Structure 1
Amino acid sequence: MKKTIAQVKDLHIKEATEEDIPIILQFIKELAEHEGLLHEVKANEDLLAEHLFGENPKARVIFGCVNDEPIAFALYFFNFSTFEGKPGVYLEDLYVKPSHRGKGVGTILLSYLAHLALQIGGGRLEWCVLTWNTKARAFYESIGAKPQDRIILNRVEGNKLMDLASTFRRLSVQD
């Protein structure tokens, strides 16, 4: 049975403010726990304050709220497609509290981000999903998302990130 937006009574979207940092961190930890990755969370309130609400914010957060209580969150940022020559929206994380799943909350948050992408003249809304998360994958496909099997996400982090950066520093000193 397909869920409709009407199934979420009194849901509204709220843009996060600096006062919401503890709630954002709580959602990040709940998502990480759900994914079995709580041990990987390094985010803290100071980092979130700097990178979400500081002088040069790197990402934004919205909440899905019922009766002014956040029941879901999405963290996103703007990206750019060189092939399309247009900006887009990249969804880093989407999390709906378990008691509110299956009621259309995720669809509403994604539709908000799709609307936002079009408002900025964008051509894409993109995100990644864990390979084992078959329920999320099925949900995303049900709203028209197409898995991209021609690309593989690559990541450099930790010591390897520092090593790669030191290569640049070493090469730029030799000029």
Structure 2
Amino acid sequence: MIRPATPDDVPAIIDMIRGLAEYEKALDKVENTPDMLHETLFCPSPSVFCHIAVDGERIAGFAIWFVSYSTWLGTHGIHLEDLFVHPAHRGGGHGRRLLAELAGICVERGYGRFEWSVLDWNTPAIDFYRAIGAEPLDEWDRYRLTGPALEKVAAGRTR
């Protein structure tokens, strides 16, 4: 079963975020806390959303996403920030059902894209995504500003 996250899910989501970061060899980069996540997901006007995969009474996985926009298509889309299924629940269709839920939201709302990123060494995920028909955008490189570089660029704005 797939359902929207509730405030009671926050501790489990934080644990899964940490599990994903550990798998991606970046656990030391996680700064998110239960309070921060609760405020992000359950504030009066959230910009980030989470769906939960449930297996019986247990949380099996999650998908955290936000609405994006394509100037070329002239429509919104969904950007999947994180998808994680507990190792004990992998192979049970939970990841596929989470992606299907988000794809369904795209279709229902008339959104034109559903996109995400994957680490280039994560072959199990890449194989899974290709198996459902997703295609890599080889011609695009992602860029990111954080920390001091972000602050330096922000310092150059005019007011």
If the TM-score is normalised by the length of the shorter chain, which range does it land in?
over 0.9
Match of 2:108 among 113, 119, 122: 119
Counterpart residue type for residue 57 of structure 1: P
Aligned pairs for 1:1-175 within 5 A: 12-168=1-157, 171-172=158-159
TM-score, normalized by length of structure 2?
0.96
Counterpart residue type for residue 115 of structure 1: G
TM-score, normalized by length of structure 1?
0.88
C-alpha separation in 1, matches of 2:155 and 2:36: 24
- Segments of structure 2 that go 5 or more residues without pairing to the other structure are none
Structure 1 runs (4+) deviating above 2 angstroms are none
Counterpart residue type for residue 131 of structure 1: D
Counterpart residue type for residue 133 of structure 2: G
- Residue 39 of structure 2 aligns to a residue in which SS? helix
Note the C-alpha offset of 1:103: 2.4
C-alpha separation in 1, matches of 2:11 and 2:38: 10
Deviates more, 1:87-96 or 1:48-57: 48-57
- Residue 80 of structure 1 aligns to a residue in which SS? strand
Note the C-alpha offset of 1:19: 2.1
C-alpha separation in 2, matches of 1:91 and 1:135: 17
- Residue 156 of structure 2 aligns to a residue in which SS? helix
Note the C-alpha offset of 1:59: 0.5
Note the C-alpha offset of 1:135: 1.0
Note the C-alpha offset of 1:129: 0.2
Equivalent residues, number: 159
- Residue 99 of structure 1 aligns to a residue in which SS? helix
Q: Is the radius of gyration larger for structure 1 or structure 2?
A: 1
C-alpha separation in 1, matches of 2:145 and 2:110: 30
C-alpha separation in 1, matches of 2:37 and 2:92: 29
Counterpart residue type for residue 112 of structure 1: E
Note the C-alpha offset of 1:99: 1.3
Query: Taking every aligned residue pair, what percent have the same amino acid on both sides?
Result: 40
- Residue 103 of structure 1 aligns to a residue in which SS? coil
